[in-house]
Structure 1
């Protein structure tokens, strides 16, 4: 994981000559719709593709995942999450450009994309085992169990719901079944319904979260330099309790990967559905993901947890419970309610998007004509996730993400020259336009 994600990301950054960073303004301009082409191949606009991808990454990785990183590795783990995000900008630029460049067709003849198609179409049949590895790991790694599990925890710990929840026998099972019915009503509408929901919900939640963070940190304005100093100091001189320097790096990188998914390959499947024939264009849009997801949203969560000081005194409390305690301490009941709403919305959008990812992997392995069977399997995993242990689920997810990174990064490293060749043409043509 360290070598592939951080080492590979650093290599991409220099190999691209910082192109995603140098063309950041153009990346944002692509979201306005000015460059959308109605008759291009694909299903989603650039903005819808980014929103769908962010719906999969902006979720409990930003709220519970950050708390897990701090509880396991201390504040220093946040620094290594930032490193993962910075190199992830270039990684997403390459992986998602290739996602458009090497789209293929499923067994029903529908245009599809993702790391398995990059391997199959870009590297050829002799690399098919690598494509199969991604599809198998992606099938299991995109189960919604973690999101569902933490949603149950919110219901059990949130002040307004904790009392009556404790009175309901078999609450976890009942909650899982009710959530499965809700999710089923959305995923039977297909990718378009998921994308429209994501565009409607994700931006407003992110803006609201940023405003709340500014308000809380405004109460600790004089201490903000100390918080950043703590993050940088602990990144290089961590205590023995956090596993030493290598332990903190591993924790930060794995949580960063879980948060923004750069180099993992799941987000490539969303961006591959973009309605464009310009691979570089979608690669630039995708490069915004780690900035929004980890550098902005995860940093908000981390600073609130550090400011509240709960990470030093919350023995046995981790995940969403720690973040909930921090919001409660800073904003009282309002903080609890706001975070509960944030968790609900972002968890649901992640669950919807993960269905799409898992369905693509299922169709690649067994045939698109059997994709409806996956919907029933996915809904069953929602119910199971409501009753399983959070630690077991999270460790399983991280393991699957590590397996997905192998084919994604290997294929991207081998095909990176193709992206550079396309970028040279794209940016030269862009420079000619007024």
Structure 2
């Protein structure tokens, strides 16, 4: 086990080295500039679209909100609790700053993913929409790029089984339930497998309906808890923000049980954990957005980018501030245990229970979303006949994840996540012209409609 962990830790350092960080940030920065900041300036417009039905839509399986909820169900997960805590524990408070920067430019990346997902989606034999990087690589870049599509889909299946999907979520849930209620990890794995199986057998429509109920509920519970702690320690807010910014550029000296972290480590951990949480650039969310009932790729792209805003700019930031403002960030703990300690300090009594409930909801919803992502990837590779065997293995991975050590699971996740991102980022850069052209056309039409409405009112 130790040898495996060392191997994947070394691979993680290689995969998430400077080239990947440059590619991720560079793609986001490039798209943000070329799109003239649409991903930031048009956030209010995007929010108004969430609950508006696309009147011109004739295709799609789920509503725009359900597509966003499905995408969020896979991003608002244990990465918001355990992943952020791990980034701070290993990379120092400065990791949070780089997480924010990655998220801001990642909104443009997520926007482009949503646009291309709807633009190049196809209808499968069952009459359902299928889309995502494997389709826009092949259809957008051309047949000669199909090997890259195959590589992405293969990585997607691996991430579902051994990355963000089954194993990490089961592991974090089992860890939380064992620590708070003394429930054996194997029992958690068995119950989670049964519940996930009951939902995913109903396909995207059942997953979307469950996600649209769970995501808002779990978000309110967790956000409410963090806000209570932050407001209770509001006097510590300026110092916490100052520590984050200072550590981002100057590194963090050894304090207490914290071994010390340099700027590069803070940057690497911040970006990798941020991507692990919001998945901007990973290529997973467009698989869900491809199923939305809309005929407007840009419209869905705008809704898609809100996922990164909600996940990282809001929820991950609240976790970060809770950990730092309660003063537990350098106590030697990591993962969900560190966030739990912050809640126990900031909210004595019910704090640990809030985290336990949050992890249960977060982990369950993420396993649902990622089962669907992996399903679409395996369908692209081997056809619909491979879906049932895929789901069987997925459930076995949940059982395995509940009983394997946390450190090994996170190391494997980092590696497969990074491998999945590469083909998607290549496609986003190669098809950026398509995204830019469609975005200009969309907002030109929006401006015309608004102008006509104003004339009518006048």
Q: Distance in 1 between matches of 2:260 and 2:144?
A: 43
8 A Cα contact 1:108 1:368, kept in partner = no
In 2, distance between residues paired with 1:355 and 1:38? Answer: 30
1:4 touches 1:405 (CA, 8 Å); kept in 2?
A: no
Which residue of the partner structure matches residue 196 of structure 1? 209
1:108 is displaced (CA, Å) by 5.7
Aligned-residue offset at 1:155? 1.2
Q: Answer yes or no: is the 8 Å Cα contact 2:28–2:109 preserved in 1.
A: yes
* 1:347 maps onto 2:360 in alignment: no
- Please say if 1:265 is aligned against 2:278: no
Is 2:406 the counterpart of 1:401?
Answer: no
Alignment of 1:35-434 (within 5 A): 35-37=53-55, 39-106=57-124, 110-143=128-161, 144-158=166-180, 161-162=181-182, 165=183, 171-239=184-252, 241-313=259-331, 315=332, 317-433=333-449, 434=453
Give yes or no for contact 1:107–1:367 (8 Å, CA) kept in 2.
no
Counterpart of 1:168?
none
Of 204-213 and 119-128, deviating more is 204-213
How far apart, in 1, do the equivalents of 2:278 and 2:76 lie? Answer: 8
Instruction: Return 413-422 or 39-48, whichever deviates more.
Output: 39-48
Corresponding residue for residue 48 of structure 2: 29
How far did residue 39 of structure 1 move? 4.8
Instruction: State the shift of 1:191 in Å.
Output: 1.0
Q: Distance in 1 between matches of 2:252 and 2:225?
A: 31
Write out per-residue CA displacement over residues 145-178 of structure 1, whole angstroms, 9 at most, x where no aligned residue. Answer: 00100111111211xx13xx3xxxxx32232122
For the residue of structure 2 that corresponds to 1:17, the secondary structure is coil
Tell me, yes or no, if the aligned pair for 2:175 and 2:185 is still in contact at 8 Å.
no
1:209–1:320 distance in 2 versus 1, CA, 3 Å: same
1:277 and 1:399 map into 2 onto residues whose CA distance is 36
- 1:339-362 CA-to-partner distances (Å, cap 9, x unmatched) read 111111111000111100010111
Distance in 1 between residues matched to 2:273 and 2:57, nearest whole Å: 39
Is the 1:104–1:121 contact (alpha carbons within 8 Å) kept by the matching residues of 2? no
Q: Which stretch of the first structure deviates more once superposed, 178-187 or 49-58?
A: 178-187
Q: Deviations over 1:288-316 (max 9, x none)?
A: 11111001000111111111211222x2x
**Shift, 1:204, TM fit:** 2.3
- How far off its partner does 1:392 sit? 1.2
Q: Deviations over 1:171-215 (max 9, x none)?
A: 322321222111111111111111111111211222232222222
* Cα separation, 1, equivalents of 2:435 and 2:262: 38
Query: Within 1, Cα distance between the matches of 2:425 and 2:352?
Result: 39
Q: In the TM superposition, what is the alpha-carbon distance from 1:65 to its structure 2 partner?
A: 0.4
Q: Which moved more, 1:51-60 or 1:19-28?
A: 19-28
Q: TM-score, normalised by structure 2?
A: 0.89
Distance in 2 (CA, whole Å) between partners of 1:431 and 1:112 is 31
Q: Deviation of residue 60 (structure 1)?
A: 0.4
Superposition deviation, residue 231 in structure 1:
0.3
Residue by residue over 1:71-97, the C-alpha shift from the partner in whole angstroms, topping out at 9 and shown as x without a partner, is 101110000000110001110111110
How far apart, in 2, do the equivalents of 1:149 and 1:286 lie? 28
Tell me the distance in 2 between the aligned counterparts of 1:352 and 1:132: 23
Distance 1:108 1:370, change over 3 A: farther
Per the normalisation by structure 1, the TM-score is 0.94
How far off its partner does 1:105 sit?
4.3
Question: How far, CA to CA, are the matches of 1:139 and 1:348 in structure 2?
Answer: 18
Q: State the aligned residue count.
A: 422
Partners in 2 of 1:175 and 1:38 — Cα distance?
Answer: 45
Contact 2:24 2:425 in 1 (8 A): yes
- Tell me which residue corresponds to 2:34: 15
